[in-house]
Every structure is written in C-alpha cells, then in structure tokens.
Structure 1
Amino acid sequence: MRKLLLLPALLASAPALAQSCEAWQPPTLTNTRYDEDWSALADPANRNGHWTEHLKYVPLTSDGQVWLSTGGELRARVESFSNNLWGGAAAPADAYLWTRATPYVDLHAGPVRAFVQPIAAYAVGVAPAAGPVDQTRTDLLQGFVEVTAGPVTVRGGRQMLSLGTERLVGTRYGPNVPLAFDGVRSDVAVGKTKVSLFYAQPVQARLGTFDDRSSPTKALWGAYAAGPTLDVYYLGYRNRAASFGGITGREERHSLGLRSHSAAGDWRWNVEGVFQFGRFADQDIRAWTLGSEVSRSFPQAPLKPRATLRFNVISGDRHAGGHTLGTFNALFPKGKYFGELSPIGPTNIINLHPSVILALRDNLSLGVTGMAYWLYTKGDGIYDIPGNLIRGPGGAQSRFIGKEVEASLSWQALPELELSTSLSAFDAGAYLRETGPARTITMVGLEANFRI
C-alpha cells in the first residue's frame, strides 16, 4: 500500500486558500513527479510561505517565461522474510535494506520542457545476491525533452509510463528500482479525454553505475484514451526471447482493454477487462483478464472506515504444448501487485481481496487486508509479478493456492515524511502442498519516505 503525500491538506491554514473555494491548490505529490504543475506559484497570491515554494518555482528570467522546479525523494525500506517462496527460495530466510534517492530538475522554457531525474539505489544484505530491481547504483532514471503545441504534447527520451491503474503498464514503484522506458510519447487533449500514443523499449536496470540500457528484445507500443469515467486502449508488445511452458521463442502480443471507473456519493468502482491475442513461437495467443474493485467509505462512522472488495480472474494455459497459449501476460505491471507481500503475480489465478482502511488519527491510518488465491486452470502453474514461472502444475489435483493476511500502519509524521510498517503472512494451500515446499511465508516491512 502506498500513501500519497498530500501537501495541500497540510497548508490548509494559508489565508489565500481560506478565502475562496476556487483558490489554487498545490499538486499532490505522487510517484509520477513529472505530472506536477507548479507554474501557478508565479503569482504571489498563490504563495503561503511554505519552505518548499522556493524549490518548486525558481524563475530564471525576469518575465518568468523560463523557470525550473526541483524536488525529490529519499526512501529507506527494510524487508524481512521467513520461508520466502514457501521455503523454496534460494534464501528462504532473508532480511535486507533498500535505499533510494531520486532528485529531479524540471526546466520550463515556454513550450519546451526538459525533465531530468537521476537515481541512486543501493541494497544491503539481499541473499543470495542483489538483483536489478534491488540495486542499480547511480544512473539516469528519467531524462526527456517535451514540446507542447496547443492540445498536443510530444515527449522523447527516458521516461516512466503509468497507464490507468497500472495493471499492464506501471512505474514498478514498490521495489527499489522503478521501471522506465526509452522512447517517444505523444499526448493529445480531446475535450476531457487524453489520448496517448507511444513507442518505447523498457530499460534494463543493471548493477553498475550508469550502465542501464534499453532492452534489446522487448518493445511496447500502443494508444491509450483516458476519459473521465472510461478508458479504452490498445497495447502492442514484442519479446524476441519469451518463454512459456518450457518453450522459448518470439512473442508478439496485442492487448485490447476497456476500463470503467467512477464514483457516486460514498461509492467508488473500477472495472477493467483485457483480451489478448497474437503469436508465440508456433502457437496462437488467446488470453484475458477481468478485474473489479468496489469501495465504500463511511465518513460519519468512528475511524471513518473505507471498505474495498477486489475480485480478479486471470487466464492461464489449459494444455501445455498445444496450438493455443492461454497464459495471460501482464506486460509491465505495478510492483507489489497484491500488497506488500506479493509472491504471486497476475497470471493464471482467481483472486478475492477484501480490505478496510481505518483513520486512527488525521495523520495515522491502519489497513487490514485478506486475500485468497486459486488457479484459474490446473494445466498451468503460478507466476511471479514479472511473469516468470515459479511453480508448475506438477499434477496437482487442487486449485487452491493459499490465503494471505496483511496489516499496514502509515503515519504522516511531517508534511514531507511518511513512516510505515506492515506485517504479512501467506498460508500455503493444497496446490502448493501437492507441488513442493509449502511453509507459511511471513514478511515484516519498515519504510521511511521523505518527499518534497
């Protein structure tokens, strides 16, 4: 679970904001820092004296046409596992420290913009060895140039992509090294709808300094139309070295998606369906997913609870080695997909996921979640979030993978500092017991996040 640092709420006492409900509100600080617009601080009426204003709007010319914005994030996270991958991992008992610094500079010169965000990401104690999502040392996370002409914006260079709820294309924010792409993107505003066209290659994080490179085998392209209540999209994907069911070959996959999302009163909902087709080796691809999320808040009740129910069905392959591949490919999904502990990724599963968030205080919240997982088809196995097979079917008779509980506590200690902790446990079900190690995974997470 990731909280957003909501700077406007912490500055609510400012006179300028109190005078009018239409007063400018500073942007919410999110994972996609390039989406923030601080240009309104050029007007002194929108300033209230907070110390970060001197970083968010720095005029470089007397007319204010050239200006820059700066900021960044410092994050330290500790994770401690017991029986990782149900006791089948190379290091089932593991505890490590992730540290990450991501400062940025955002330069504006009329219709031209340049955004640069380096990263310093290090890991201590990862066993048996740190991987590319744990550590990239010092490198370029994002660096792009953007030009705007009327309703059209064109961006080229290294950039993060966040589409919809990040089911298929996300920032991979949860792990230590986020995901970026090298490519070009064009956004066109059509009324209240934004249409994005893009072609990009994912960046492969490496363990050295300034050695991250575009993937030589993978590419992503597509069109995404995001409206106020409805998203429609097409995503194309190519991997010259894909692997499914013990077969390695070229994969070209096309995804057609439809997402409905809205709110009414205290209710919110988000329903998304995706159909995939294409070719892998000598097989036709026919895969799909349907995900739903419905939530209800109770602002007048004690602790102001917000209850959410998620239900996901994600296809798998019914017959290994057949003429049709039914394994769904989530492409580049968000990190920590189902929670802080997410040993299973969004492939070949049925998932039921109720949760509730309680406001213990204005700056302190408690989240409690329960999860249950079943195989969609017994002809396929289970996969991790990147899509790697971690447990084959192995002749298992049961579909029940297991159940998980998780509690997380988040404290906004300062306007810029969030402290959080989580405790998770995944109890193995009959499928895991029939196919290999089946111990209960436990994980404790501790995190400090300073963001300006």
Structure 2
Amino acid sequence: MAAVLAATAIFAAVLVALPAKALSADVDGTENSNVVPPKTTLLRYDEDYTYLRDPAKRTGAWWEPYKYIPLGFSDDAYLTLGLELRFREEAYRNFNWGELPVNQYQWYRMLPYADLHLGPNLRLFGQVLGAWVTDKETFGGIDATGIELLQGFADIKLPLASGTDLTLRGGRQLLSYGSERLISLRYGPNVLRSFDAALASINSSPLRVDALYARPVRNLVGSFNDRFDPERSLWSIYATGQLTKISSEPGLDLYYIGYRNAAAEFNQGRGDEERHTIGSRFFGAAEGWDWNFEGMAQFGHFGHGDVRAWSMASETGYRFAGATFSPRLGLRANIISGDRNPNDSTLETFNPLFPKGKYFGEIGLLGPYNLINAHPTLTLQLDKHWTLDLATVFYWRESLGDGIYGPGGDLVRPSDNSRSRYIGTQADIILGWQPAPWFGAALSYSVFVPGQFIRDTGASNSAHFVGVEAMLKF
C-alpha cells in the first residue's frame, strides 16, 4: 500500500510542478508551428529529440528541457529523460461469464526512463517499471511486480555504407513487430512484457531487417525478482519496409519466428513445444482507405506429434474526412486455426506467441486461438480533444474439437464435446479525452453476451466491464 501511495504522490507532484500554462487545454506544447515534435511511442527508445540542439527549434514547451540535455564534450553527447504515469481502474461483473461474480481493482504504473547518447554511435538506455494493484483478491505478475528493470541495454551503431547502418543491441528490452499479433509489448495490462535479448538490425531506408534471439522475462509479484523464463525462447528474422522510398506508399513485412516452450498446454494436453512461424503482412493507406492484411503458417512439434497451424488476419477502413466528426468505418476479421482432434498427435491450434494485451477489446476475455471473428468498428473525432470508438465483435470457434483460450494462452473452456460453434457477441464503447499531447484519459464499457458454446460448457451469464484511466506521458 505504501508503494501505491508513493506512486499516487509522484503523479500529483508532477502535475503540481507543471506551470499553469502547461495545464491549459488550449496549450499543446507546440507554440512554434514550424516545429513538429516526435510522437511519444510505446517503446520510448525510438524517439529522436536531437532537433532540440538548435535553440531556434525550441518552442518553450515545459517538457523540452528534459528531452535534450547536452553533456558538453560532444555535440552528439546528450541525455533524454522521460516518464509515464498511469492510473487505471477496472471492474468486471461475471468475469468469464460468471466464474467470478464481481471483480473491481485499481492498477498503478510508473515508467521513468533515461536515454544516454555517448556520441553518434554508442547509446545506453534504461527504463524502470513500477507496477502495483489494490483491491484484487487474486493477482499475479501481470498485475503487480513492484519495482523492476523493464529495459536496460546498450547498442552500438556501425555505418556499413552510405545510408546503411548496422545496430547491435544487447540487454533487457521491449520488442514490438508489425501489428503486434505475434511479438508485442503487452501494453494494455499493468505489467509490460520485456525480453532479455541480443539483436542485430540493418537499416537502409526504407528497409529494415532485424535478427534476434530472446528469452521472455517472467514477471513475479515483488520487487527486483523478475528473471528470464528458462522454459521459453524466441528467435527471429524480420524484414519490414515501404515498397518505395515514399513513406506514404504501401509497406510489406516478411518474417520467420522460432519459438520453444518446454511446458506448453493446450486443449490436447501438456508437452514440449517447438514452433516455427512464417508470415507476411501487407499494409498501407491511400485516398481515405487504410488496410492491414497478414497471413501466418506454423509448423513444428508438440510432444510426440506435429504442429500444423495457420491464421489470416485483416483490417480495412475508410475515413470520411470531409464529414462531421471525420468518421472512420472499419472491419477487422480473423480466422485462427484450432485443433481438429484432441485425441490424435497432431496439434492444429495456432499459437500467437507473445500477442498484444486486450487483443479483442478492453474486456479481454478471449485470446487469438481457435477463433473466427468479425469486428466492425466506428471511430468519431468529436472535436480537437475528444474521440469516441464503437465496436461489435462476433466470435465463433474455428474448430469444434478445440476449446477457447484467454489472452495469455490459458484454456478458458475446453471443448467438452460441445458441437456448438458460436461463442458470443461483444460490444465496446470508449470515450477518449486528450487535452494535451502529454496527458490523456479514457472511459470504456464492454459487454459480452454468451453464445451456445458458453452455455454448453459452464457458467453463462453476460459479462460486463467498465474501465477508466488517466495517463501522463512525456
């Protein structure tokens, strides 16, 4: 509890310390209209503030002194500091359709970081995670992990040719690729996912190729006790880039990802899993349209049998830029293979490896295993600071021989010989408010109405979810 009070006090102290001008909803920190600062990212280590070296490009925003602190001995030696503070409250009624009648709790998270550049080619990056939870009777490392090192790595950049660099990076780090369907930060829950990894990256704009070997960090309740998971490992070659040097042109990802889990568990049973994924993603935007299509195939072994799995994912949208509220209509659709026969040795359940948290919406009851879903969306820009997101999701089992899984891969409901395919219907609404680039808040509500499969296999009450959060980030 003392840690929670400390985190809350830090949040309040930062807000109090900000000048009154910065707290005004009419000030966005970009008084100089000719300067566009980089957007804050989830990784944080890919933000570039070197433009602040030129005093003429400074806007007077309150956060600028923290973003470029010159060290004096070189123009390329500087320090960048930043912080994220998040408070989030979540409440469920009938979690997992009645297995837990009521569950309401608060998450607290702080993410300070320091990015030290010792010349043009050497960089040290460190980020600390503080994560706590209150009023949750049963919780784990995804809810609260105390104080931990989230990221701590060194990288060196080696010029190979004109416009081409090789970056070598080693240490604990966040990894994010593509649409985060397979390798993600797990940003939505309270504790992000990091890896102890060695990475080599060749960047020759507009193409980047990464090769890496990593072990995921196992998050435990308590401070300074997170270590890499000895049972799981990841290795990959991932290429991404635009098809031309014009940044607005369509892009293409091609990748191979290897994965091993010595203690995997599926509807079929438990065993050693080695899985290889090959995939491609095609994405882009033009004339109001945007698209993101991805196909993945998996092979390998599970226990004494083979792995044969696949998935196809898509998202297509169109924004009516000239209409009131600039509405964007979208449709997401996924087909994710499940196991046909739990009694044979072949496993056909697709494994999303390390997917993003809250994969199918804020309520977070289902993960991307053995599913077919259709997910129409509508986004409205109500004014400069307010947004409204509406969505409905329809879920079916891809295979009747397999069960359904949670976001972390846990088996939520086994198949239990049910011949029903329809899982249920979900509706989401999110109201977002961002009065300044460095502060935002959101209110969300979701409901999941069970289908016949849920009614066949256990508790089947409609599940309700409410979430509210506030975040400061610079």
Alignment TM-score, normalising by the size of structure 2: 0.90
How far residue 440 of structure 1 moved from its aligned partner, in angstroms, is 0.3
Contact 1:59 1:66 in 2 (8 A): yes
Bigger Cα displacement from structure 2, 76-85 vs 237-246? 237-246
Whole-angstrom CA distance in 2 between matches of 1:234 and 1:329 = 14
2: distance between equivalents of 1:420 and 1:413? Answer: 12
Query: Which of 216, 235, 241 is residue 202 of structure 1 equivalent to?
Result: 216
By how many angstroms is 1:315 displaced?
Answer: 0.1
Deviation at 1:245, TM superposition (A): 3.0
Question: Offset of 1:57 from its aligned partner?
Answer: 0.2
Deviations 1:39-94 (A, max 9, x none): 12111222111111100000011532311000010000000000000002xx3310
Correspondent of 2:411 among 380, 386, 389: 389
Q: Is the 8 A contact 1:384 1:390 kept in 2?
A: yes
Q: Which moved more, 1:32-41 or 1:400-409?
A: 32-41
Query: Which residue in the other structure is 2:46 paired with?
Result: 35
Local SS of the residue matching 2:453: helix
**Within 1, Cα distance between the matches of 2:136 and 2:228?**
25
Deviation string for 1:196-240 (max 9, x for gaps)?
100000001111110000001000001000111100000000011
1:4 maps to none
Counterpart residue identity of residue 34, structure 1 = Y
Q: State the alpha-carbon separation in 1 of the partners of residues 106 and 365 from structure 2.
A: 19
1:144-223 matched pairs, under 5 angstroms: 144-150=153-159, 151-223=165-237
Residue number in structure 2 paired with 1:70? 81
Q: One-letter code of the match for 1:119?
A: L
| In 1: Cα distance, 2:145 partner to 2:392 partner | 33
Aligned partner of residue 33 in structure 1, secondary structure = coil
1:85 maps to amino acid? N
Q: Report how far residue 264 of structure 1 moved.
A: 1.1
After TM superposition, give the deviation of residue 13 of structure 1 in Å: 3.9
Alignment partner, residue 96 of structure 1: 105
| 1:399 is the counterpart of 2:421 | yes
CA contact (8 A) 1:192 1:227 kept: yes
Post-superposition offset of 1:323: 2.6
Separation in structure 2 between the aligned mates of residue 302 and residue 340 of structure 1, nearest angstrom: 27
Which structure 2 segments of 5+ residues have no match? 1-26, 160-164, 243-250
Partners of 1:245 and 1:321 within 8 A in 2: no
- After superposition, residues 436-447 of structure 1 pair within 5 angstroms as 436-447=458-469
Deviation (angstroms), 1:387:
1.1
3-state SS of paired residue (2:101):
coil
Q: Which amino acid letter does the alignment assign opposite residue 116 of structure 1?
A: G
- Higher alpha-carbon deviation: 76-85 or 388-397: 388-397
Q: Shift of the alpha carbon at 1:12?
A: 4.7
Matches within 5 A, 1:240-251: 240-245=262-267, 247-251=269-273
Instruction: Give how far 1:27 is off.
Output: 1.1
Q: Which residue of 1 aligns with 2:134?
A: 124
Q: Secondary structure at the match of 2:156?
A: strand
Deviations 1:115-162 (A, max 9, x none): 1001110000113x2211000001111100010011100110000000
Give percent identity, aligned residues only: 43
Q: Is the 8 A contact 1:290 1:314 kept in 2?
A: yes
**Secondary structure, aligned partner of 2:354:** coil
**Which residue does 1:333 correspond to in 2?**
355
- AA partner of residue 319 (structure 1): N
Work out whether 1:14 is the aligned partner of 2:32: yes
Taking the aligned partners of 1:293 and 1:434, their CA distance within structure 2 comes to: 31
The question of 1:367 aligning with 2:389 is answered yes
Q: Does 1:274 align with 2:288?
A: no
Aligned-pair Cα RMSD in Å: 1.3
Distance between the aligned counterparts of 2:438 and 2:390, measured in 1? 25
Give the residue type in structure 2 aligned to 1:148: K
Partner Cα distance (1:387, 1:278) in 2? 18
Is this contact kept in 2: 1:104–1:115, CA < 8 A? yes
Q: In structure 1, the residue corresponding to 2:45 is in which secondary structure? A: helix
Q: Give the 3-state SS of the residue equivalent to 1:35 in structure 2.
A: coil
Maintained 8 Å contact 2:109/2:130 = yes
Tell me, what secondary structure is at the counterpart of 2:442? Answer: strand
- Checking the alignment, whether the CA contact within 8 Å between 2:29 and 2:60 is kept in structure 1 is no
Residue aligned with 1:432, SS: helix
Cα distance between partner residues in 2 of 1:65 and 1:231: 32
1:388, distance to aligned residue in structure 2 (A): 1.2
Cα drift, residue 163 of structure 1: 0.5
* Contact 2:284–2:292 (8 Å) recurs in 1: yes
- Does residue 434 of structure 2 align to residue 423 of structure 1? no
1:248 CA drift (Å): 2.1
Residue identity in the other structure for 1:68: L
State TM-score, norm by structure 1: 0.94
Q: Distance in 1 between matches of 2:348 and 2:106?
A: 38
Give the match for residue 20 of structure 1.
none
Residue correspondence of structure 1 range 206-355 to structure 2 within 5 A? 206-228=220-242, 229-245=251-267, 247-355=269-377
The answer (yes or no) to whether the contact 2:268–2:347 under 8 Å persists in 1 is: no
Conservation of the 8 A alpha-carbon contact between 1:406 and 1:423: yes
Match of 1:6 in 2: none
Q: Deviation at 1:265? A: 1.0
User: Would the aligned equivalents of 2:30 and 2:36 in 1 still touch at CA under 8 Å?
Assistant: no
Contact 2:267 2:403 in 1 (8 A): no
The residue type paired with residue 132 of structure 2 is Y
Q: 2:93 pairs with 68, 82, 86, which one? A: 82
